[in-house]
Amino acid sequence: MKLSRRALVSLTVALTVGILLLAINLTGSGKTKDVVLVTHDSFVMSKEFIADFNKSSGFNLKLLKAGDVGALTNRLILTKAAPIGDAVFGIDNTFQAAALSGKIIDGRLTPTDFGDVCFNYDKIWFEKRNITPPTSIKELTLLQYKGLTVVENPNLSSTGLSFLAASIDKFGATGWEPYWRSLKNNGVKVVNGWEAAYYTEFSGSSGKGAYPIVLSYASSPASEVRANGKSQTANILDGCFRQTEFVGLLKNAKNSAGGAAIVKYLLTPKFQASFPEAMYMYPITPGTPIPPAWSKFTQIAPHTYGDTLNFDANRKSWLAKWSAIFG
Amino acid sequence: MQTVRVGLRSGRLSLVKTPNQAAKWVLPLIFFGALFYWPLGRILSMGFASIGFNSFLTPRVLSLAWFTIWQAAVSSILALLFGIPGAYVLYHRSFMGQRFLRALITVPFMLPSIVVAIGFTAFRALPLFSQIFNGHSSIPIIICANLFMNYSLAVRIIGALWSVLDISTEDAAALDGAGRLRIFISITLPQLAKSVTSAGALIFLYCAANFGLVLVLGDVTTRTLETEIYMIANENLDLTKISGLVLIQSVITIAAFTVVQRFSKGQLSFNGLTSLTPKPRIDRRDLSVIAITLIFITGLIGLPLLTVMIRSFQVGDRFGLSNFYNLASHGARDLLPISVGRGAVNTFRNAGLTTFISLVIALTISFLISRTSESNSQRRFFRVMDILFQMPLGISTLVIGIGYLLCFSGGILPLRSSWLVVPLAQSLLTIPLIIRLVYPAFVSIDNELLESAQTDSANVSQIWWLIELPIIRDVLLIATGYAIIVSIGEFGAASFLAYGDQATLPTILYQLISRPGVQNYGMAMATSSILIVFAFLVIYLVNSFDRGGLEIHLRAKRDYTTLR
């Protein structure tokens, strides 16, 4: 194929002009009616809710998923001069302090929902083998539970970090490292994220993995109800961590009014009621109706650990110490 | 710098030197200054502002550096051990189906590293291997994935030289009754030494920067410098630590790069690479080498590819197409910001623009460098420019991503809000590679041709469009292909810059594989298998379109390119 000189020149010029036009067009977007809600990857808001919000507020809602809670928070910190949205949903109590000291939030973070990070176990697995399932996190270090537990890496997973915090709170500054060492010696498996732990490694889920004890949520048994009307899994209600998620307005937001409107909307009763089914979390507003399966198969932990620790000040040293045990 | 002197000595360059040359440097210098050195400098200065330079060499960091180096070293040694017999079988002998095998082994090299990683999660889960891989560290599977990706590099680089070796000495030795192994060790291997070394160093380079592979396949204990950078950026955002890790990564990369450069010098030629002498047919005495090669290709290349293809049709306990239908969706629980289809559109759009930008800038730079005159000061200027424009090869792409978020969110260049940010960042990775391809081609243009054109009073632009461009057209095609491949697979910078509705295939695939519920895992497999078929088709088409062409491409690549 031989291109004539003229053809090449005009092609080049056309391409350059085209790209410039596109660029100008795209960077100039963002009408004042648009409101961008930045969320973590697990946020779910149905089309009906989006339409309802748009109708009631007069704004045009756009969702922007920006990674896991860590990636989300740090992305917002790096870009705070010109934030990528107007409001943020999904910063939790493990990143709350980082978000506040990073000065990305206008005003305060408002809690929207919570969930208890607890161990689940596969009831059928234990019944078949006639082994009594563990009732506390301390028991996970016992010989009879050797090689049965899978947890998430706290460096990469907020679920994993939650349990690390709970163990630090429960066993104290001098006790948590020996606890993790004995967990390691007892063959605990560490994987990168919740989905890998729950869907790939755990024996009680659809993945039919090899580990009958998994670090998950107190609400998870509601999703494992079998044909006989019983859940295959149950909670270990000791050593749980209460994860609370927040919504907040971003500093320097282009559309503060729109941001404030979406913050408010996430706290309306109808949206609050969607949290269990859509995001497997409990609504923060007391008295919000809960799905029947939830009231039957899930419990809220009677006592939780670690959720008020100072993550911003200690995360680095906790993770370094934890990594030293597993590195 | 041999190649440079060839160009300089000829003296042609002063002929076409134009007075406004300095002005022409402005575009590339501004491009690199604003889009590379500014963000990099900002990160490093923030990183080292608060704390001393020496405080980052902690035992943890040293062990990360050590792991990065040794997994790359083991991988490249193994790739060479398997690659040499492979090169012999596929390039020094002939047999039916040889071209198919050559195409097959090239597929992994063309695949985005995240696709390879996903493929090996499926490979690892095969009943046959789960015994071997489960319950142990993830290092063996990472090394297998490294081999999978880089085997073809070893085979092709060594094979390309092997296929043009003069075999008369070998024949003479064979007549004297020397065995094939002895002939290989005492006659052939010394002749291949250069290409073996440069292949080894190149593979090392790739394996030291296999960020996507280690991120997906690695467990808690297996971390490289780059996965650590990624982790810190998503947790503590400790810029001091990040800066320290970046510098160590750069030292490793630049050292390996220098070795590649050193050993691939003096092999510059774009013509006559296709061997004209027919290769001897394979015979019974080759049995052991054939066995090694076939076992390797079947087990470590064919099987992983096949596993992904089969897994992509697997739905629960049955087979079906629903994984492919799901590609129009956003994944389980609406995980993805956009559908995989939209992600593919973004990816190819980025690849198109990246290619265009990097061709324009790299051609300008190559053109200008090739017009440097012989004076000492000019030569020094050329060297400085060369290093200046090659630097992105030595810097982790993750840092470019972080730096862009930091520098281009507001201020005078609010690029981040535009989709252009990803192609611009990716251009920085492809420009150095294209320069290494195009510049030698410029220099190799026959001088007399240019002089006689000048005598016929052709002006600079006529010479460019009518003589130089047609001559380097082949190289431009290779450069285009290379830029497209790099852009499609680029994950480091994209993992920070391509999110929301700008997500690309690699970032979407990473989201899917990080949340391997049944549906998401199936979608990751389906996307991967489409990309595998796509890569195979491209290679096959290129092969049948131009029989000698691909060989030239890969030789050219061996000579002038590395990394990413």
Residue A195 has a pLDDT of 79
- pLDDT tens digits for range B484-505: 988 999 999 999 999 888 999 9
Between CA A176 and CA A170 the distance in angstroms is: 8
Packing angle of the helix pair B303-313, B113-124 (nearest 10 deg): 80
Q: From the CB of residue B264, how many other CB atoms can be counted at a distance below 10 Å?
A: 24
Between CA B262 and CA B197 the distance in angstroms is: 10
- pLDDT tens digits for range B379-416: 788 888 888 898 898 888 999 999 999 899 877 788 88
Task: Choose among A104, A316, A78: nearest CA to B402.
Answer: A78
Cα dihedral B340, B341, B347, B350, rounded to 10, equals: -140
Residue B181 has a pLDDT of 83
Q: Tally the C-alpha atoms within 13 A of residue B544's C-alpha that lie toward its C-beta.
A: 6
Residue B38 has a pLDDT of 94
The verdict on a CB contact (< 8 Å) between A78 and B409 is: yes
Distance of CA A163 to the CA centre of its chain: 13
Question: Pairing state of beta strands A60-65 and A34-39?
Answer: parallel
Question: Is residue A123's pLDDT more than 70?
Answer: yes
Among all residues of chain B, which has the CA nearest to that of A6?
B465
Average pLDDT for residues B407-436, to the nearest whole number?
88
Residue B52 has a pLDDT of 60
Between CA A242 and CA A92 the distance in angstroms is: 10
Chain A neighbors of B349, CB-CB under 8 A:
none
Which of A155, A201, A279, A281 would you mutate first to test chain B, the one with the most B CBs within 10 A? Answer: A155
- Spell B315-325 as b/e; 16+ CB within 10 A means b: beeeeeeebbe
Between CA B520 and CA B513 the distance in angstroms is: 7
Q: From the CB of residue A44, how many other CB atoms can be counted at a distance below 10 Å?
A: 17
User: Could you tell me if A104 and A250 are in contact, meaning their C-beta atoms sit under 8 angstroms apart?
Assistant: yes
Q: What is the DSSP letter of B281?
A: B
User: Could you tell me if A82 and B245 are in contact, meaning their C-beta atoms sit under 8 angstroms apart?
Assistant: no
Residue B40 has a pLDDT of 93
Q: From the CB of residue A142, how many other CB atoms can be counted at a distance below 10 Å?
A: 12
- pLDDT tens digits for range B330-359: 888 788 888 999 999 999 999 999 999 999
The verdict on a CB contact (< 8 Å) between B220 and A323 is: yes
- Mean pLDDT score across all residues of chain A: 89
User: Could you tell me if A307 and A93 are in contact, meaning their C-beta atoms sit under 8 angstroms apart?
Assistant: yes
Q: What is the DSSP string of A167-221?
A: HHHHHHHHHHHHHHHHHHHTT-EEESSHHIIIIIIBTTSTT--SBSEEEEETTGG
Which of B63, B334, B407 would you mutate first to test chain A, the one with the most A CBs within 10 A? Answer: B334
User: Could you tell me if B252 and B208 are in contact, meaning their C-beta atoms sit under 8 angstroms apart?
Assistant: yes
- Spell B199-219 as b/e; 16+ CB within 10 A means b: bbbbbbbbbbbbbbbbbbbbb
Between CA A244 and CA A90 the distance in angstroms is: 9
Q: Which H or E element spans position A106?
A: strand A105-122
The verdict on a CB contact (< 8 Å) between A193 and B234 is: no
> Which among A71, A190, A193 has the least Cβ separation from residue B515?
A193
Which of B63, B64, B220, B464 would you mutate first to test chain A, the one with the most A CBs within 10 A? Answer: B220
What residues 320-339 of chain B have any CB closer than 8 A to a CB of chain A? 333-337
Task: Choose among B419, B449, B562, B41: nearest CA to A29.
Answer: B419
Question: Is residue B324's pLDDT more than 70?
Answer: yes
Question: Is residue A116's pLDDT more than 80?
Answer: yes
Average pLDDT for residues A254-278, to the nearest whole number?
95
The verdict on a CB contact (< 8 Å) between A41 and B511 is: yes
Q: From the CB of residue B367, how many other CB atoms can be counted at a distance below 10 Å?
A: 16
- pLDDT tens digits for range B281-315: 888 888 889 999 999 999 999 999 999 999 999 88
Between CA B153 and CA B428 the distance in angstroms is: 23
Residue A59 has a pLDDT of 96
User: Could you tell me if A197 and A216 are in contact, meaning their C-beta atoms sit under 8 angstroms apart?
Assistant: yes
Cα-based distances in Å from B209 to B141, B252, B322, B562, B564: 16, 10, 35, 11, 9
**Which tops the pLDDT comparison, A112 or B210?**
A112
Question: Is residue B130's pLDDT more than 60?
Answer: yes
How long is chain B? 564
> Which among A74, A153, A315 has the least Cβ separation from residue B234?
A74
Among all residues of chain B, which has the CA nearest to that of A15?
B356
Among all residues of chain A, which has the CA nearest to that of B512?
A195
Question: Is residue A5's pLDDT more than 90?
Answer: no
**Which tops the pLDDT comparison, A171 or B462?**
A171
- pLDDT tens digits for range B90-113: 988 888 888 889 889 989 988 999
Which of A8, A42, A156 would you mutate first to test chain B, the one with the most B CBs within 10 A? Answer: A156
pTM value is 0.84
Tokens found for residue B225: 């410098």
pLDDT classification of A13: cutoffs 50, 70, 90: low
Look up the ipTM and state it. 0.80
The verdict on a CB contact (< 8 Å) between B414 and A82 is: yes
Chain A neighbors of B233, CB-CB under 8 A:
71, 74
Between CA B113 and CA B214 the distance in angstroms is: 10
The verdict on a CB contact (< 8 Å) between B402 and A75 is: no
Cα-based distances in Å from A35 to A64, A269, B338: 10, 21, 18
User: What amino acid occupies position B299?
Assistant: G
- pLDDT tens digits for range A14-39: 666 565 555 545 554 455 689 999 99
Q: Which H or E element spans position A65?
A: strand A60-65
Sign (positive or negative) of CA dihedral B225, B227, B231, B234: positive
A115-A118-A122 Cα angle (round to 5): 125
The verdict on a CB contact (< 8 Å) between A68 and B334 is: no
